[in-house]
Structure 1
Amino acid sequence: MIDRRRLIKAAGVGGTGLLLGSSAMGATFTPPSSVDRGHVEPGPDGRPRVSFPNWRDPADTPSSPPPAPLPPEQRVGFAIVGLGRLALGEILPAFAKSLMAKPVALVSGSPEKLHAVAAQYGIKPEACYSYEDFDRIRDNSEVKVVYIVLPNAMHRLYTERAAKAGKHVLTEKPMSVTAKDAQAMVDACKAEAVKLMVAYRIQYEPFNRRAMKAVREGAHGRLLAYHGINTQTVAADGHLQWRHKKAMAGGGSLFDIGLYCLNTARFMTGEEPVEIFATTYAPPGDPRFSEVEETVSFMLRFPSSTIANCFTSYGGRDDKHARLNLAAAAVDMPNCYQYLGQRMTVTKRESDATSHDEIVIEAKNQFATEIDHMAECVLTGRDPYTPGEEGVQDHRLMEAIYESARSGKPVHLPALAGLDHFRGPPPKADS
C-alpha cells in the first residue's frame, strides 16, 4: 500500500505547500497556443463574437456556436401592453433568452400588477403606464417597440395609438376581430412609417421551419396533405373568459387556437388556398358557446392540389399535432403548436425496410426568437417576415371559413401567383 505522506515528502513539498503551489500555478498558467481556446471573429452581422472550431468527431452533431448578445445599452427597448397570463408566463420571461431586446416599459389597467411586475423586471416607475395615459409613451425614447398582448378587440386601438406615438408594433395574433380592422392597423402603421409585425411564433420555431424547408425543397416529393389538430378544454365558468365574447374575441376556437392550423398550413406550402370548406359546432344550452363556436373543422385546397385538413375545438383534451403526407415520406409532429416539447418523426423507405427516424433539434424559446426578429428589423430597417399583411390574409380566410360553415357550401378564392405572397424577407438565420 502506498504511503501518502512518503509520496508527498518524496515530491519535495509538504501538504500545504503542494496546495499553495497548485493555486499559484493556476493564477499564472497560460494555456499553450496548441490548446483550443477559441478566437474572436466577425459574426454574420459584422459584430465580433467568440468562435470555437468543432471539437466533435463527424459522427456527432456539431455544437451550436455560443450566443453573441448585444450589449444591454444597445438592445431594442420593448413596452409590454397588457399583463395577463401570456405576458407574465411567457413573454416577459423570454427576454432573459433574448439577444437583441429588453423590456423597458409596462402598460396595465392594474396599478397593483404594474408595481409588482415592474419590481420583478427592474422597470422604472416612470415607465409604467395605465391605459388612460398610454399616449405618454411617445416621450419615452427607450421604447422602440410596443408589444400588444391584449384581447383581440383591443389590438387595433393600441396599434393606432402606438403608431401615432412613433413606436413600432408587434401584436399578438389574431390581429383583431375583423379583416377590416386588421387592414386599418396596417394602414395606420404605414401612415406613420413604423413597422408592424404579427407574433406568429410557429413561423420562427425550428421544427416547423425544418418541415417547411423539406416541403419547399421537395426533400420527400410532393406534399399531398397537411393535417393540423389544435384542441384544448376551457373551464365551465366561461363568463370569466373574454374568449367567449364575440365582440372581444371575434370568434371561438378558430380565432384562438385554430388560427395556428390555418397559418401553419399556409406557411408550410407558401401558397394561398383557392377553396375552403368548413363546418362549425356549438353545444346547445352551453353559455360558454352562446356567442362563439366550440368546434371547427375546415379544409383548404391549394393551387398545387395540396389539401390541408384542420380541426380545432375547445371541447377536447389538449392536443396540438400535425402530420404531413408526402409522396415518399410521412412526417409526424407531436406538440407542434406548443410553447415547447416539439418533436418530429420521418417515416420512409430505407432500402428493403421502413425507417422511423426521430429528428432531434436544439430547442429555442419561440417568444425570444420572434422578439429578436422584430428587434433586428428595427435595428437594420428590414421588413418583418410576418408583417401585418400576413395577419390580414388570415382574417380574410377565417371569414371565408365562417361563410362556408353558414352556407354549407365551399368558398372559392382567386389564385395568387408566387409563394409567400404576404410575407417579408426570411429571418436572418435563413438568409
Structure 2
Amino acid sequence: MPRGPSVSLTRGGDQWPNTRHRAFTERAARAGVHVLREKPMATSVEDCEAMIRIADERHVKLMIAYRLHFDDVGATDEEQDPRFKGVDATAFALMRFSQGRIAQFGIGHAASAVSSYRVVGEKGDLLVESAFGYEKERKHVLTLEGKTEERVFATHDQFAPELLYFSKCVLEDQEPGPSGREGLADVRVITAMLESARTGRPVKLEAFPMKRRPSLDQLIVRPAASPPAPVNAPAPAQG
C-alpha cells in the first residue's frame, strides 16, 4: 500500500518530454506515490496501459489532468516554425460514431488562436467561444428552435479544483475520474488518426467502455488567481 498521501504533480511545462511520462509514472508508483499526470498521458497505447497496470498493482491513484472535467462550461500541413521541426503544423480529423453521429475538428499551432467548438443537433446548436482556455470569459450561444440565448461564464481558477478533487480521491480512497483509462482512450484515438493519415484509410476502433463520464457532480468553482509579482526577477517571456 502507498506510504501516506504522497502525490507526484506534473503540470504544463513539464521538464521532460511526453515520451518519459511512463517512466516517471512507474517510478512514482513503485515508491507508493500517487500520480497526477499531465496530458497527453503518453505517446503510445502500450505506455498508457502499462501506467494503468502499475498504478493498479501498487494501489496508487493515477489521474490525468483534464481540468475541464471540473468546469462549467486526417489532413496535415508542413510546419514552418523551426521550433516544431518534424511536427505537423495543422491536423484535421473526422470521427464517426454509432447512430450516425459525426465529430469533425481541427487543431494547429500555425493557425490563428481560435478556441471554440459547436455542437449541432436536430433542434438547435450550441456554440462555445474561448472554450478551452482559462484566461478569458467563456460564452455559450444556444440556438434552440430559432431562439438564441447567450450566457457568459466568468473567469475562474481551473487548476485548484483539479488538485482539490485529486487530493480528495487520495484521502478518501476513491477512484479518480478522469482516470488513466480516459488518457488511454485519447491516445487510442490519436494513434488511429496517425495511422489513418499514414495509410489514407479510415481506422476502426473497438468499443472502449468507460466506468464513468464527466458530470456536473464534479463541478468545483474557485475564484481566478492573480499572477504573482516577480521577486527579484523579470517576468517570464511570453510565447
TM-score (norm 1): 0.46
Q: 2:124 aligns with which of 282, 306, 329?
A: 329
CA apart distance, 1:310: 0.6
Tell me, which stretches of 5 or more residues in structure 2 are unaligned? 220-239
CA apart distance, 1:186: 1.0
Tell me, which stretches of 5 or more residues in structure 1 are unaligned? 1-137, 208-277
Structure number having the greater helix percentage? 1
CA apart distance, 1:287: 3.8
- 2:59 corresponding residue in structure 1: 193
- 1:167 corresponding residue in structure 2: 33
Please state whether the residue corresponding to 1:344 is helix, strand or coil.
strand
Q: 2:10 aligns with which of 130, 144, 148?
A: 148
Q: 1:342 aligns with which of 134, 138, 155?
A: 138
Q: 2:179 aligns with which of 377, 387, 404?
A: 387
What stretches of structure 1 move > 4 A for 4+ residues in a row? 424-430
Equivalent pairs: percent with the same residue?
A: 33
The 5 A counterparts of 1:28-427 are: 144-149=6-11, 150=14, 151-207=17-73, 278-283=74-79, 287-340=82-135, 341-349=137-145, 354-361=146-153, 363-416=155-208, 421=210, 423=212
CA apart distance, 1:347: 1.3
> Using the alignment, how far apart are the partners of 1:378 and 1:173 within structure 2?
20
Please state whether the residue corresponding to 2:166 is helix, strand or coil.
helix
- 1:221 corresponding residue in structure 2: none
Shift of the 159–400 alpha-carbon distance from structure 1 to 2, 3 Å rule, reads: same
> Using the alignment, how far apart are the partners of 1:160 and 1:364 within structure 2?
33
> Using the alignment, how far apart are the partners of 2:81 and 2:214 within structure 1?
45
> Using the alignment, how far apart are the partners of 2:108 and 2:120 within structure 1?
23
TM-score (norm 2): 0.80
Higher relative contact order (CA 8 A, sep 6+): 2
Task: Check whether the contact 2:138–2:153 (CA below 8 A) recurs between aligned residues.
Answer: no
Structure 1, residues 282-319: CA drift from partner, whole Å, max 9, x if none?
24x76444422111000111113211111011111211
> Using the alignment, how far apart are the partners of 1:300 and 1:171 within structure 2?
26
> Using the alignment, how far apart are the partners of 1:331 and 1:427 within structure 2?
18
- 1:93 corresponding residue in structure 2: none
Shift of the 191–426 alpha-carbon distance from structure 1 to 2, 3 Å rule, reads: farther
> Using the alignment, how far apart are the partners of 2:192 and 2:218 within structure 1?
34
Equivalenced residues, count = 213
> Using the alignment, how far apart are the partners of 1:424 and 1:303 within structure 2?
17
Shift of the 425–376 alpha-carbon distance from structure 1 to 2, 3 Å rule, reads: farther
> Using the alignment, how far apart are the partners of 1:302 and 1:168 within structure 2?
34
Task: Check whether the contact 1:171–1:198 (CA below 8 A) recurs between aligned residues.
Answer: yes
Structure 1, residues 379-423: CA drift from partner, whole Å, max 9, x if none?
222211100011111111111000111111111222456xxx254
> Using the alignment, how far apart are the partners of 1:187 and 1:153 within structure 2?
17
> Using the alignment, how far apart are the partners of 2:42 and 2:33 within structure 1?
19
